[in-house]
């Protein structure tokens, strides 16, 4: 199984760096009060530092809004994953999901970079970050019906269906992270001004947290315009 990023993505977004943590044999069952505490701390920081009007102007959020515009999405309607989390906090309703999701949500908010994940045992074939043809199938997490992405939209997909629409906007039902997840791939995405050194530091922090709270083994990789695929 591979993660492959279409080279045309890098032609359009040359500063893009996609970091991954591959986590194997983890235990995602149960709750952890320390993870809840970490989330509560970062939520208070977001509430203190931002208003809804501030978010779009932040130096780490505005590049994603520009990227969304570049592939035809409306950033006022479709928020990248970290912006969506920030707005949920300011509206007072960030849910707790499970240990792994809560951990990467915490780090996403701490560093203001988009993060997401897929259950590797539910992936069919390879994972690709690519431009949609428009005929692919997508079934979202939670309530929602089967749909198709827009042609030219950036998506994560496997050999069967879409795993995440509009780059990092909405994840699918099939590969969602649950308490039963044992093997996962976590994505940390950086556009300029995020540097590769900064991204590597975030990935190492994420890998350490996963090992501390969920056990298992982790591996860190970074894909960029010079390294467009990896073995998972």
Domain layout of the chain by residue ranges: 2-231
Average pLDDT rounded to a whole number, residues 136-165: 94
pLDDT digits (tens, 9 = 90+) for 44-57: 999 999 999 999 99
Average pLDDT rounded to a whole number, residues 139-168: 94
Residue 178 is given by DSSP the state -
- Phi, psi dihedral angles at 89 (to 5 degrees): -65, -45
Rounded to the nearest 10 degrees, how much is the dihedral formed by the CA atoms of 25, 6, 187, 171?
Answer: -90
- List C-alpha distances in Å: 26 to 3, 97, 108: 20, 16, 20
% of the chain at pLDDT higher than 70: 99
Residue 15 has pLDDT above 70, yes or no: yes
Residue 144 has pLDDT above 80, yes or no: no
- Which of the residue ranges 80-89, 104-113, 143-152, 221-230 would you say has the lowest mean pLDDT? 143-152
Alpha helices in the chain (DSSP H): 7-12, 33-49, 52-55, 62-70, 81-90, 99-111, 196-214
Quick one: pLDDT at residue 11?
97
Among 116, 72, 145, smallest CA distance to 206 is for 116
Task: Determine the Cα–Cα distance for residues 230 and 232; give it in Å rounded to an integer.
Answer: 6
Task: Determine the Cα–Cα distance for residues 155 and 157; give it in Å rounded to an integer.
Answer: 6
Whether 128 and 106 have beta carbons less than 8 Å apart is answered as: no
Quick one: pLDDT at residue 142?
81
Quick one: pLDDT at residue 215?
98
Residue 167, class by beta-carbon neighbours within 10 Å (0-12 exposed, 13-18 middle, 19+ buried)? Answer: buried
Coil vs helix vs strand at 93: coil
Give residue 125's pLDDT band: very low, low, confident or very high (50, 70, 90). very high
2-231: CATH topology: Phenylalanyl-tRNA Synthetase; Chain B, domain 3 (3.50.40)
Average pLDDT rounded to a whole number, residues 7-17: 97
- List C-alpha distances in Å: 220 to 35, 67, 200, 204: 22, 25, 8, 7
> Mean pLDDT over all residues of the chain?
96
Task: Determine the Cα–Cα distance for residues 163 and 80; give it in Å rounded to an integer.
Answer: 15
Residue 143 has pLDDT above 70, yes or no: no
């Amino acid at each position: 199984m591979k993660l492959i990023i279409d080279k045309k993505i890098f032609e359009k977004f040359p500063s893009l760096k996609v970091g991954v943590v591959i986590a194997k044999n983890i235990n995602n069952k149960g709750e952890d009060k320390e993870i809840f505490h970490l989330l509560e701390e970062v939520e208070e920081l977001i509430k203190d530092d931002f208003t809804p009007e501030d978010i779009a102007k932040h130096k780490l959020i505005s590049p994603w809004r520009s990227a969304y515009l570049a592939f035809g999405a409306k950033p006022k309607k479709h928020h990248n994953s970290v912006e969506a989390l920030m707005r949920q906090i300011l509206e007072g309703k960030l849910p707790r999901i499970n240990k792994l999701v809560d951990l990467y949500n915490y780090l996403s908010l701490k560093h203001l970079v988009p993060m997401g994940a897929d259950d590797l045992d539910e992936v069919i074939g390879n994972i690709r970050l690519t431009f949609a043809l428009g005929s692919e199938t997508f079934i979202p997490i939670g309530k929602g019906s089967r749909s198709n992405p827009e042609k030219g939209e950036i998506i994560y997909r496997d050999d069967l269906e879409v795993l995440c629409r509009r780059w990092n906007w909405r994840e699918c039902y099939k590969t969602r992270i649950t308490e039963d997840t044992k093997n996962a791939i976590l994505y940390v995405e950086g556009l300029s001004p995020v540097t590769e050194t900064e991204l590597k530091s975030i990935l190492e922090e994420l890998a350490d947290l996963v090992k501390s709270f969920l056990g298992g083994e982790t591996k860190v990789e970074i894909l960029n315009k010079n390294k467009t695929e990896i073995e998972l």
